[in-house]
Amino acid sequence: MSPVVVTGCQRLLGAAAELEGRPYGLLAHGASVTADCRPLHLALAASVAGPPTALFGPEHGYYGVEQDMVASDHQVDPWTGAPILSLYGDDAESLRPTAAAFDGLQVLLIDLQDVGSRYYTYVATAVWAAEAALAAGVEVWVLDRPNPLGGVVVEGNRVRPPFDSFVGAFDTPVRHGLTLGELVALEAKRRGWPSGWKIWTMEGWHRAMDWAATGLPWIAPSPNMPTLETAVLYPGGCLVEGTELSEGRGTTRPFQLIGAPGVDPAALAQELAARRIPGLSCLPTYFRPQFQKHAGATCGGVLLVPTDAAALPAYRCGVEILAAFKRQLGERFNWRQQAYEFVSDRPAIDLLTGGATARRAIDSGDTAALDAWMAGWRDDERSFDDERQSILLYS
């Protein structure tokens, strides 16, 4: 069956003559594939556009090899011979390409599958690379793809300085309900970009469409995003990165398995059930990560099972999970203290939640304060929904 949705990359392939004779670079990753599952850079190389002059790789590397927060090296693509410039190195300066990166290029193509959560770093990479390319006099073409969480729901508080970072680069709620192209358009408007950029929109996608309806295959955009179910849970599950709990990395179910040694799974599941989170079941379980946090140790915890993705408040789910673990573990519950995405002067959880309120309420056990903070998201959700109306590309 042919996909219902025609992605921006597929539309470009049908008009590849627009690139003929124009040296171009491509910022992409392992999920940047055509409808028949060919890597985009190889499909373009076989077209009249010819092979790319340069490739650019985001976090995890161009081929999606590296784990989170592991630097990627500059490489050479073995199929086309094109150099691959890493946009995720050993320091924060590596996240933004220099003007020299665009020497000899006329066009920068950007084709990155986002997952609809503020923390996912591909959006920051796309915007910063586009801005650098425009400053270097290079055109920017963003090839749009669906938001796996749909384009309707907006959930969570906005992030503002001093809590902006690579995992919160732009002032949006955690679930923003935008495609990558729309996010680029929003930042272009905010930053007053000049002309020289455009979005290759999709055909056949609408805001209420779930992933299954697109007809597109799910290709993991990063090593720990193996399934659509993972993406559904990620707006909440990613918060666990700000703690010493395991978020399931090192298992086959990252962001679904949450736990730590010494946790009573049954008591934890019972406590979460009492919070009545719509669209979610919490299965008490044990698991043993093979790498990263608690590698080799048996962890007690829960398996998160989304029973109704459309009804699930995924961000709230993550906050509730952290509060439940704190109540269970008491003083044995710890926030991450190490540097997180090149930031060491603010707690990782504050970067993820966009402030210190959630951490302080969870630490104090003040359920009323935590509930009040979550209820306060509505103002941010409404104000952002109003702002985004002017840049929406799809009905």
List the domains of the chain with CATH numbers. 8-223 (3.40.50.12170), 228-355 (3.90.1150.140)
**Side by side, which strands form the sheet with 24-28?**
75-76, 83-86, 54-57, 24-28, 107-111, 139-143, 197-200
Report the distance separating Cα 343 and Cα 86, nearest Å. Answer: 20
Question: Structure pTM?
Answer: 0.97
Which of left, alpha, beta for 353 (phi over 0: left; psi -120 to 50: alpha)? alpha
Backbone torsions φ then ψ of 321, nearest 5 degrees: -65, -45
What is the residue whose two structure tokens read 């509730």?
320
What is the residue whose two structure tokens read 């109306």?
389
Report the distance separating Cα 298 and Cα 306, nearest Å. Answer: 24
Burial of residue 250, with CB atoms counted within 10 A of its CB: 0-12 exposed, 13-18 middle, 19 or more buried: buried
Q: Apex CA 247: angle with CA 243 and CA 253, to 5°?
A: 180
What average pLDDT does this structure show over 81-89? 98
What are the tokens at 197?
A: 């950029």
H-run or E-run covering 350 = helix 348-353
pLDDT digits (tens, 9 = 90+) for 265-303: 999 999 999 999 999 999 999 999 999 999 999 999 999
Amino acid at 373: W
What is the residue whose two structure tokens read 């995890």?
60
pLDDT of residue 3: 87
pLDDT of residue 1: 57
pLDDT digits (tens, 9 = 90+) for 190-222: 999 999 999 999 999 999 999 999 999 999 999
Backbone torsions φ then ψ of 268, nearest 5 degrees: -65, -45
Contact 249, 289 (CB under 8 A): yes
What average pLDDT does this structure show over 121-146? 98
Nearest of 193, 148, 221, 207 to residue 388 by alpha carbon: 207
Report the distance separating Cα 150 and Cα 121, nearest Å. Answer: 18
Q: What is the mean pLDDT of the chain?
A: 97
